[in-house]
Structure 1
Amino acid sequence: MSYILQYTLDMLIVMMIAVPFVIFIRLRMKRKQKASQRNPLREAGVIIFGIYLVGLFYETIIPKNGVSFSYAEKRITDTDSLGINLHLFRVFTDVYNAIHYLGLWQPFFINFLGNIAIFMPIGFLLPMLWRKMEKFFYLLIVGFCLSLFIETMQLPQYRSTDVDDLWLNTLGALLGFLVYHQLVKRMPWLKEKFKRRV
């Protein structure tokens, strides 16, 4: 559990550091837009989404150890011993074995629930901020492609690259999408509050 807390704390610290930079970049992007066209709630939502992406990419893409080209080349040829899982749904076996034989719940919370939970903001914030993302298919593609990008970027690093992360992350985005739809079903006025005015 301490690993999960440390992971969350690291991500939150990076997100707090990113706040002024994301705000500055967003203000630079919007400086030519007329004041009457601006939606303050949407701008806050876009900034929060940007800060979340910084935290997500920091925790999943930024190398945590030194990486050499020889290591990257070795990973391409020797997948099993170097943390690359190409066996679909192996996460179920790994989690079961860890709990049943070793009494370890960490793989369940990190590898299974963690991969779902970390992508839920994608499924919630995208349709909240962009009309096109209210379509299930678009969100499915974006969630999958973002996960694929992260897994590809992890290949040359001392990190695990896992085919199961692709569907777990995508599932997380879809669950976030369902949360968004349930929320706007109960509060229909919320649907337009965060959208672009023009």
Structure 2
Amino acid sequence: MSLFQYLYVYTRICIMYVVHTDLLINIICTCILCIIFQKIFFLRAKKKEGRVSRKHFLGVFIFLVYLAVVYGVTGIGTIWDVQRFVTASTSEFNRIYLVPFSSSEVTMPYVLNIIMTIPLGFLLPLIWKQFRTIKKVALSGFLLSLCIELSQLFTQSRNTTTDDLIMNTLGAIIGYFIFKAFFHVFLKKNSNEKDEITSSSVVIKHEAIFYLGLSFLGMFLFAI
């Protein structure tokens, strides 16, 4: 199968997934805890800054929908998977490949893992200025991938590989460089405008980290 055919099939799968009702369920599970946090964030930001822009909330919503799609496509493990694993008569972790590129996967899964986290590397610095460094973006891509891989240890149909960690981190880095190019072309002239909330408050300063952690926790606890 050619690269074009692989991309065509992958696009069809993504479209079918998006229109499927599972996406709505995943968005709800992803956002449950984030909505509670956002209420706290809004009150803190309003008290310290006086306002929260609609553009910021729109960016956060797009970010959470993206995460919901990632969690659904990757099939992260849930608390129910952990329960089944613990109560199973023969509990053993799923296949684990710790040596990079030691699995028998063809090239295309590597490409798809890179593509999956490119939006992460683009959206983080676009929405939050404190993520406009390659180290923070790469670390975020690595940690998100690590959480997904660790949760998949308890599933019955997923493999845990270091290949995914490497490719997902690489995808986030590529997304960051795409953002840099986008920034220099479209956003640099407006970079001095106050379009983001800045504060020493932990809740406000680490908003993106809270969304990443709470969205994953929401899927882990509430998804079936």
Distance 1:136 1:27, change over 3 A: closer
Q: Is the 8 A contact 1:39 1:194 kept in 2?
A: no
Cα deviation 1:150-172 (Å, max 9, x = unaligned): 10000011211111000000000
Matched, 1:88 2:100: yes
Alignment size in residue pairs: 177
Map of 1:151 onto structure 2: 149
Alignment root-mean-square deviation, CA? 3.3
1-structure distance, mates of 2:146, 2:95: 16
Name the TM-score, length of structure 1 as normaliser. 0.73
Correspondence for 2:196: 196
Percentage of identical aligned residues = 26
In 2, Cα distance between equivalents of 1:151 and 1:51 = 20
Pair 1:137 & 2:162 matched: no
Evaluate the alpha carbon distance shift between residue 194 and residue 29 of structure 1 in structure 2; reply closer, same or farther with a 3 A threshold. Answer: farther
Gaps of 5+ in 2: 1-5, 199-224
- What amino acid sits opposite 2:155 in the alignment? Q
Q: Is the 8 A contact 2:23 2:72 kept in 1?
A: no
Partners of 1:118 and 1:169 within 8 A in 2? yes
**Higher relative contact order structure (alpha carbons within 8 Å, sequence separation ≥ 6):** 2
Aligned to 1:73: 91
1:6 matches 2:13: yes
Distance 1:113 1:88 in 2: 15
Aligned to 1:177: 176
Kindly report which structure 2 residues correspond to 1:10-21, keeping only aligned pairs within 5 A, or say none.
10-11=17-18, 13=20, 14-16=22-24, 18=27
TM-score of the aligned structures, taking structure 2 as reference length: 0.65
SS of the residue aligned with 2:17? helix
Gap change, CA 1:39 and 1:142, over 3 Å in 2 = same
Matched, 1:126 2:124: yes
5+ residue gaps, structure 1: 76-81, 96-107
